[in-house]
Structure 1
């Protein structure tokens, strides 16, 4: 259905639910396929187009308008390692992963 962002979110939920790590390799293989498809789909997008597309998602828009998240993102620009500290909070992690999946936060 080419709804890659939703598929990534489902896989991330599956990874959290797989406490016995019985399906880790399968989940990671599917995540890799989806991320490659996303990168291919978004290869020609400018940063402005990415932001415009992502902001059409109500959840992304809500996250981006949250003052706490704005502060976390500003802090991460100056100190990317700080983002790792924030990822320890499950609520913040979920929001950050939503932004990563939407293409707003780039990972290498």
Structure 2
């Protein structure tokens, strides 16, 4: 998933947008299938075994951002303008901790 996100950043001219989008969809579908039937607790337990996820979840700044996002989803959009925060949020999304619609 991170490789696809990096490819998107480097596709300045948009020549590979369709291919990148297709690969992203395949990855997301595979992740959803992999997690099918998991309870929220099982998802959290699995994700927290990833040291990077555990580090993000233990970061007081990220905890504050996530708390703000629960109360005000627009705040999350504002925080996503920061590339470092965006990368961490996307890691949590990909791990299944943050659910998107």
TM-score over 0.5 for the pair? yes
Cα distance in 2 for partners of 1:43, 1:85 equals 31
1:10 aligns with 2:26: no
Structure 1 runs of 4+ with >6 Å offset:
none
**Distance apart, 1:23 and its partner CA:** 0.6
Measure, in 1, the Cα distance between the counterparts of 2:40 and 2:13: 39
Per-residue deviation, residues 51-95 of structure 1 (Å, max 9, x unmatched): 100010010010000000000001101111211100000000000
How many corresponding residue pairs?
Answer: 101
State the partner residue of 1:50. 43
For residues 44 and 9 of structure 1, the distance between their equivalents in structure 2, rounded to whole angstroms, comes to 25
Q: Which residues of 2 match residues 83-94 of structure 1 at below 5 A?
A: 83-94=76-87
- In the alignment, structure 2 segments of 5+ residues that lack a partner are none
Structure 1's unaligned 5+ residue stretches are 1-7
CA distance in 2, matches of 1:26, 1:81: 30
Q: CA RMSD in A?
A: 0.7
Please give the alpha-carbon distance, in whole angstroms, between the structure 1 residues aligned to 2:73 and 2:39.
22
Which TM-score applies when normalising by structure 2?
0.97
What is the TM-score normalised by the length of structure 1? Answer: 0.91
**2:13 partner SS:** coil
Counterpart for residue 33 of structure 2: 40
Q: Deviations over 1:17-66 (max 9, x none)?
A: 11111111100111001101111110111111111000100100100000
